Structure 1
Amino acid sequence: MNLANKITIARILLIPLFILFFTEYPLWLTENHRFFGFIQEDGRYIALAVFILASATDKLDGYIARKYNQITNLGKLLDPLADKLLISVALIMMVQSGMVATWIAVVIIAREFVITGLRMVASEQGIALSADKLGKLKMVLQVVAIAAVLLDNYPFQFVTLIQVDEWLMLAAAGLTIYSGIHYLLNNYRLIKLN
């Protein structure tokens, strides 16, 4: 297994760590165990650091794969899967904590299922559908929006009363919808749906 694929797998393995630090634990557990008490106090910031680290590895593994000619079928499968898992888990947990509206998570996750389904159909027909620039921009905006929500609008709260984190999340949802429609329209005609 090459370095690029190892980095992608590391990104997937960071997801349970994100879950561990993001989860809110019951009072009896946080009062009786120092580790869980620590998580209750500072876990969200550690979860944010894990999320940013995992997101940053997306660019790193792609760069290494291209520069050192380490592009493999396993990497083509795992890289987008890792991205979808990371974003989906973060959104689901944020919905559970009341930080993000359910419809936003549903829209973003549903788009990923639809595009993944289209790619699977195309793959069965020997057609490789790669991500476009809008899809990459969408991913960046989703990461920025999730990070802003995890920071609870910090540091924007010091300079404006506008909930910048909420607007970023709305923009991410809007771009997700737009990029999904754009991707479908551009690639649908390439596929025979029999």
Structure 2
Amino acid sequence: MPTLNLRPRPSIMERMTIPNLITVARLILVPIILALIVREQWIAAFGLFVVAGLSDFADGYIARRFHMESRFGAYMDPVADKLLMVSIYVALALSGAIPAWLTGLVVARDVLIVSAVLLSGALERPVEIRPLLVSKLNTAAQIAFAAFALGINAFRVELGAVETLAMLLTAALTAASAGAYLHLWLRHMTGRSGVEDAEAR
């Protein structure tokens, strides 16, 4: 006779690794940072945004270094990153710290990529997601510019042309990343690509 396994299943918290807990903490930081931006408490917002950015590096490093990768982390880490970035850009635009068109471009890129992935799945031509160099550069630029905008307001500095150049670089990389993904997606959907698909990262 088969034996019954009477051992209780581990709870969600028992299954949570240190990298996953760091990811959850980053999610919790999002509404706090947004509230600080709305209240124009720029120094605190800047500090917590830096903490959130460092936590993104820390959870990935710990997961790889100590072999703590998990399905939860694979899904939630990019979700936390996207939620943080989109929310920060929307809040900065609403506060007048950055132009609304830049936030619109950032949000439109993510909506375009997510919509393309969902559509390919609905049409039974699922696209495999992998990183692109331009996407990595875009992510770095978006994070740096968000920190830049928060820092300008936190420390009351005027950088003029440097700020404009950083903003235009971020916009250009965002548009280039969206264009690259759209190009690969169209090739995939028309059957002209092999396995060269992309990750929304």
Answer whether TM exceeds 0.5 for this pair: yes
Alignment match, 1:2: 17
Give the residue type in structure 2 aligned to 1:3: I
Aligned residues: 173
Does residue 14 (structure 1) correspond to residue 59 (structure 2)? The answer is no
Quote how far apart the aligned CAs of 1:45 are: 0.8
1:96 paired residue number:
94
Contact 2:37/2:95 (8 A) holds in 1? no
Over 3 Å counting, the alpha-carbon distance change for 1:116 and 1:76 in structure 2 is farther
Q: Is the 8 A contact 1:156 1:164 kept in 2?
A: no
Partner of 1:78: 76
1:55 maps to which residue?
53
Structure-2 separation of matches of 1:183 and 1:64: 29
CA distance in 2, matches of 1:107, 1:8: 26
Q: What amino acid does structure 2 have at the position aligned with 1:113?
A: V
Kept in 1: contact 2:117–2:126 (CA 8 A)? no
Identical-pair percentage: 28
Give the number of the structure whose alpha-carbon radius of gyration is greater: 2
Q: Does the residue aligned with 2:152 lie in a helix, a strand or coil? A: coil
Q: How much does 1:72 deviate?
A: 2.6
2:30 corresponds to which letter in structure 1? I
Cα distance in 2 between the residues matched to 1:103 and 1:126: 31
Mark the CA change 1:48 to 1:173 in structure 2 (over 3 Å): closer, same or farther.
same
- 1:121 deviates by 4.8
RMSD between aligned alpha carbons?
A: 2.5
The corresponding residue for 1:117 is 115
Question: What corresponds to 2:65 in structure 1?
Answer: 67
Matched with 1:37 is none
Structure 1 CA distance for aligned equivalents of residues 172 and 93 of structure 2: 18
Unmatched 5+ residue regions in structure 2? 1-15, 192-201
Aligned equivalent of 1:108, options 106, 112, 115 = 106
Q: Report the secondary structure of 1:100's partner residue.
A: coil
- Tell me if the contact between 1:149 and 1:166 (Cα under 8 Å) persists in the aligned partners: no
More helix per residue: 1 or 2? 1
Q: Distance in 1 between matches of 2:156 and 2:100?
A: 25
**TM-fit CA distance, 1:60:** 1.9
Question: Residue in 2 aligned with 1:166?
Answer: 164
Q: Which has the higher contact order (CA 8 A, sep 6+)?
A: 2
How far residue 119 of structure 1 moved from its aligned partner, in angstroms, is 3.6
Separation of aligned partners in 1, 2:69 and 2:115: 22
Instruction: Give, in angstroms, the shift of residue 191 of structure 1.
Output: 4.5
CA spacing shift, 1:68–1:184, aligned 2, 3 Å: farther
User: Do the aligned partners of residues 67 and 118 (structure 1) sit closer, same or farther apart at CA in structure 2, a change above 3 Å counting?
Assistant: farther
What TM-score do the two structures reach when normalised by structure 2?
0.74
Displacement of 1:182 after TM fit?
Answer: 1.2
Q: Against the structure 1 CA distance between its residues 80 and 123, is the aligned structure 2 distance closer, same or farther, given a 3 Å change threshold?
A: farther
Unaligned 5+ runs, structure 1: 25-39
Q: What displacement does 1:127 show?
A: 4.5
Shift of 1:136: 1.7
